[in-house]
Amino acid sequence: MTPPPSTALTTAPLATPDLDITLTKTKTLVNSAGGCGCSSNTDIDELSESMRARIEKHPCYSEDAHHHYARMHVAVAPACNIQCNYCNRKYDCANESRPGVVSELLTPEEAAHKVLVVAGKIPQMTVLGIAGPGDPLANPEQTFRTFELIAEQAPDIKLCLSTNGLMLPEYVDRIKALKVDHVTITINMVDPEIGVKIYPWVHYRRKRYRGLEGVKILHERQMEGLQALKEADILCKVNSVMIPGINDEHLPEVNQAIRERGAFLHNIMPLISAPEHGTYFGLNGQRGPSPQELKQVQDNCAGNLKLMRHCRQCRADAVGLLGEDRSQEFTKQKFMEMPVDYSVAQRQAVHIGIEQAKAAVTAKRQAAVRRPTTTQPSPKVLVAIATKGGGLVNQHFGHAKEFMIYEVDATAAKFVSHRKVADYCQGGYGEEAMLNGIITTISDCQAVFASKVGPCPQRELEKAGLVVIEAYDVIESVARQFYDEHVLNRR
């Protein structure tokens, strides 16, 4: 997603949105305050107050929060103790990162300085995660020293950790003592026979185990670690990389197993695989899933356990809102020269502003809630939304580097995924190819919502059968009006 103007994330809270709606491409409008609209898709509505407080500012654990709050990673953990067939050691850990991305390695002291610098410049940054570039728990001293320094110097920042789980049982007590409240384990299988197709070896207690023997150790340690987190009351998210033909049909079983052991959230991510990444899978032609295949498996796993669908497979040095990448503003050369301007009071003032903006959006959503009037389900349609965050349709079509996909029916609009695209505005060169790529990427959608769409792309989108809506409003309200106008009224 195109980064917002620097002030949007640096100094001021997100502005309370202008709630007047402008739908210039629809012919008749429905007053969104007049009893129509979607139910909120806020994922934390049904949680207890205490649980809500634990996740409401964590952009990965709360879909709602990721519109408003940012996270950052520090790359302090270079080594790894297993081999995944989708990983090339030249790059960051692919369990939480896109393959082909390399981060600058930091010492714990450099990492702590970077966190304080970013915390001052991006007060919306609420979570510090360690996710690589190898496995954080294969580098325990660097990882825990970094957490210690940040806990001492920036106590209002939540600490977060991502691991393959092999060494987790050893460290749950230390994680708890440091008040790390969010831990991710990447669990791709609960059947070692499937695991041998993903992991060629595991290095455990000074010995390398190959094949089934190694995978059984990894599986047992992952399950033990998950249960230990539950007993320690640490929130656990499980990441699973979906690998078509290997574990796609197995993932509902993984979902069931982690649910039984107390996982809080399940994040099923697509394998990203290409020969140039130099991974075993990439070199052997193993493909990743299509967005439709991913959604199907996610839908098959949807049940009591919450599913994360908004993961962006970040870099091990990611900075900013999910979906924007500000890591290049904070390279080592740059941040080491930046002064620290960290103030809890200033950060809290910004958070209060965000919460006020969020409350305005939530009120708009709730005013638009519609109860089902019939037991007959209404048709579900997908729509693609250009957004800079805040829960709003607020981005120019030509600036979108990704679209949020919502599934809309007569009562609700539900976020289901995001899809990356090459941004259309390239100064003329290659725009036609870009537009064709965007149209292909969102070809299963019925509409595009954006704050502005140029006449040429609008013509091409409409030619491809998409309804084009220009609006600046809460996503669910625009979705409701689109659905009433273009789906219900045309049945």
Considering only residues 24 to 63 of the shown chain, the ones binding ligand CLF according to CB under 6 A are: 60
Check residue 87 for interaction with ligand SF4 (CB under 6 A). yes
Stretch of 1-9, 81-89, 119-127, 422-430 contacting ligand SF4, by CB under 6 A: 81-89
314 binds ligand CLF (CB under 6 A): yes
Nearer to ligand CLF among residue 80 and residue 314 (C-beta): 314
**Residue 78 or residue 129: which is nearer to ligand CLF going by CB?**
129
- CA–CA distance, 120 with 125 (Å, rounded to integer): 9
Which tokens in the block code for residue 117?
Answer: 């610098």
Determine, following the binding rule CB under 6 A, whether residue 184 of this chain makes contact with ligand CLF: yes
Name the minimum Å distance from CB 133 to ligand SF4: 7
Place of tokens 């340690």: 221
x/- site string to ligand CLF, residues 422 to 461, per CB under 6 A? Answer: ----------------------------------------
Does residue 279 belong to the site contacting ligand CLF (CB under 6 A)?
no
Rounded-to-integer distance, Cα 444 and Cα 462, Å: 14
CB of 346 to ligand CLF, least distance (A): 22
Least separation in angstroms between residue 111's CB and ligand CLF is 14
395 is a contact residue toward ligand CLF (CB under 6 A): no
471 binds, among ligand CLF, ligand SF4, none (CB under 5 to 8 A by kind): none
Q: Taking the complex as a whole, how short is the minimal distance between the CB of residue 21 and ligand CLF, in angstroms?
A: 30
55, 70, 76, 80: which one binds ligand SF4 (CB under 6 A): 80
Choose among ligand CLF, ligand SF4, none what residue 38 binds, the Cβ cut-off being 5 to 8 Å by kind.
none
Residue 319 is a binding residue for ligand CLF (CB under 6 A): no
CA separation for the pair 31, 27 (Å, rounded): 13
Q: Which is nearer to ligand SF4, 133 or 457 (CB)?
A: 133
Choose among ligand CLF, ligand SF4, none what residue 82 binds, the Cβ cut-off being 5 to 8 Å by kind: ligand SF4
Q: Which residues contact 43 (CB under 8 A, 6 or more apart)?
A: 62, 63, 64, 306
Q: Judged by CB under 6 A, which of 2, 10, 16, 83 binds ligand SF4?
A: 83
Task: Identify residues 133-162 at the interface with ligand CLF (CB under 6 A).
Answer: 160, 162
Decide if residue 254 touches ligand SF4 (CB under 6 A).
no
Residue 311 in contact with ligand CLF, rule: CB under 6 A: yes
Cα dihedral sign, 422-391-293-237: positive
Binding-site string for ligand SF4 from residue 144 to residue 173, where x marks contact by CB under 6 A and - marks none: --------------------x---------
Q: Is residue 140 involved in binding ligand SF4 (CB under 6 A)?
A: no
Q: How far is the CB of 257 from ligand SF4 (least distance, A)?
A: 19
Alpha-carbon distance 435 to 424, whole Å? 6
Nearer to ligand CLF, 106 or 479 (CB): 106
Does residue number 217 form part of the binding site for ligand SF4 (CB under 6 A)? no
Closest to 4 in 3D by CA, of 475, 400, 405, 453:
400
Select from 26, 40, 62, 95 the one that contacts ligand SF4 (CB under 6 A).
Answer: 95
82 near ligand SF4, rule: CB under 6 A:
yes
94 lies in the site for ligand SF4, by CB under 6 A: yes
Reading phi first (left if > 0) and then psi (alpha if -120 to 50, else beta), residue 87 is in beta
Q: Is 487 in the site for ligand SF4 (CB under 6 A)?
A: no
d(CA 404, CA 425): 18
User: Which position's Cβ is nearest ligand CLF?
Assistant: 129
Minimal distance, residue 82 CB to ligand SF4, in Å: 5
The residues that touch ligand SF4, with contacts defined as CB under 6 A, are: 80, 82-84, 87, 93-95, 134-135, 164
The residues that touch ligand CLF, with contacts defined as CB under 6 A, are: 60, 71, 73, 96, 127, 129, 131, 160, 162, 182, 184, 237, 267, 311-314, 322
